[in-house]
Amino acid sequence: MIFLTLVSAAVAFALCLVFIRAASGHARRYAAKKPQRFHVGDVPRIGGVAVLLGVSAGWLTAVFSNSLGHDQLNTGIGLPMAVTWLVILLPTALGGTWEDVTQDLSIELRFGMTGLSAALSCWLLDVALVRTGLPIADAALSAFPALTVLLGFTAVLGLQHAFNLIDGYNGLAGTVALLICLALAHVALQNKDRELAGYIICVAGATAGFLVWNYPRGSIFAGDGGAYLWGLVISVASLQLVQRHPEVSPWFPLLLVIYPVWETFFSIYRKMVKGTAPGVADALHFHQLIYRRIVRNVLDEDRARRILRRNNRTSPYLWGFTILSVGPAVLFWSYTPALVFFCLLFAFSYVSAYLMIVRFKVPRWIRALPGRRRPHRPAAGRRKGKAATPPPTRWSPGAPADKERT
């Protein structure tokens, strides 16, 4: 597993470097006045391609090890299944990357490409939401098998766009995806499912290689292609984990992804109350409010550095929210009542924090500390130990005459 992680990370790391040096021209098409833009300059948005190729390298390495007859990596990943996963990933990755490069893909086409990947996962991998942990709901699912497929399709489609929604600042969506992938791989290994863990750990490795360049420097962004890839792999792996292992509570993956999922539902509700279409972008998401109203006191004479520092200080707030959900999920992955409690607790905490920020009632200890100003240099010719006399701001009878004034 460690070797696969290193292979995926190395490939993604190297490709990100190549894209940073040679593929930033497309970033000029990204409009400067977009509400979700919080950076200065033309930054390449094709980090998702590097993640995809890093994941592919890891999976093919596992296939090669398995084809030797003695699988030293002990993952059991075969060529047919690895190719199936890649076929599922291609539509959403291509659609997201096309949008990142051209900025000219309609919402309908984006939903179509992500929906195609979701449909392929249900068809080729038999992905479905088979149980919920609630007796009444499970009885309904047993009575209507087609409903399980429909709900599975909706979950896979929705999580892709949920990750795209939270992908707004350096290291935010990537670190959230990394934490979730590590948690999924851990529980898969706990249930001796090394094949599923192998698929997930390669995504974690490729994401880590990408994050080296994404945070804190912001040299490359994952773009829609990267966000869709994270959402697709995590949703499919989560549903498969619940399908394969009855010991795993269906609320375990829900608690893992509760942050992007709840952010999506709350944003839809907020826009519907305002009479705005849910697909219209705005700057009132939770991470954007943290950037605008909490991480404000960053002082620097250079505007680009000031924006970068504010950007970097925003993500750790959301990492903390994610850890507060991933931690309990890993601890109680088989105990449904505890997982339900922590899901409700997260929703309550999120809404409370959002309202606190909107109403300007954030405690002082939560706000980011101001940055340091550059030290003021004394004027030339000033004698050491002698205080400089400031010039009068306006002429007065006691002030010396000024040549220009006279």
How far apart CA 285 and CA 166 sit, in angstroms, is 8
Q: What are the CA-CA distances from residue 177 to residues 166, 167, 249, 303 (Å)?
A: 11, 10, 20, 30
- Name the band, by pLDDT with cuts 50, 70 and 90, for residue 381: very low
Render pLDDT for 76-89 as a digit per residue (tens, 0 to 9).
Answer: 899 999 999 999 99
DSSP state of 279: T
pLDDT higher for 297 or 343? 343
How far apart CA 62 and CA 1 sit, in angstroms, is 9
Cis peptide bond prior to 391, omega within 30° of 0 = no
How far apart CA 81 and CA 70 sit, in angstroms, is 18
The helix/strand count (H/E) of the chain reads as 14, 0
Q: Which pLDDT value is given to residue 328?
A: 96
Give 245-248 contacts, CB < 8 A, sequence gap 24+. 245/191, 245/193, 247/191, 247/334, 248/187, 248/191, 248/333, 248/334
Choose among 1, 7, 43, 12: nearest CA to 210: 12
The span from the first CA to the last CA of the chain, in angstroms, equals 83
- Give the domain ranges of the chain: 2-358
Q: Quick one: tokens of 181?
A: 């992938």
* pLDDT exceeds 90 at position 292: no
DSSP state of 379: P
How far apart CA 46 and CA 220 sit, in angstroms, is 7
Render pLDDT for 212-250 as a digit per residue (tens, 0 to 9).
Answer: 999 988 889 999 999 999 999 999 999 999 999 999 999
How far apart CA 143 and CA 122 sit, in angstroms, is 19
Q: Most distant CA pair in the chain: distance in Å? A: 99
* pLDDT exceeds 90 at position 251: yes
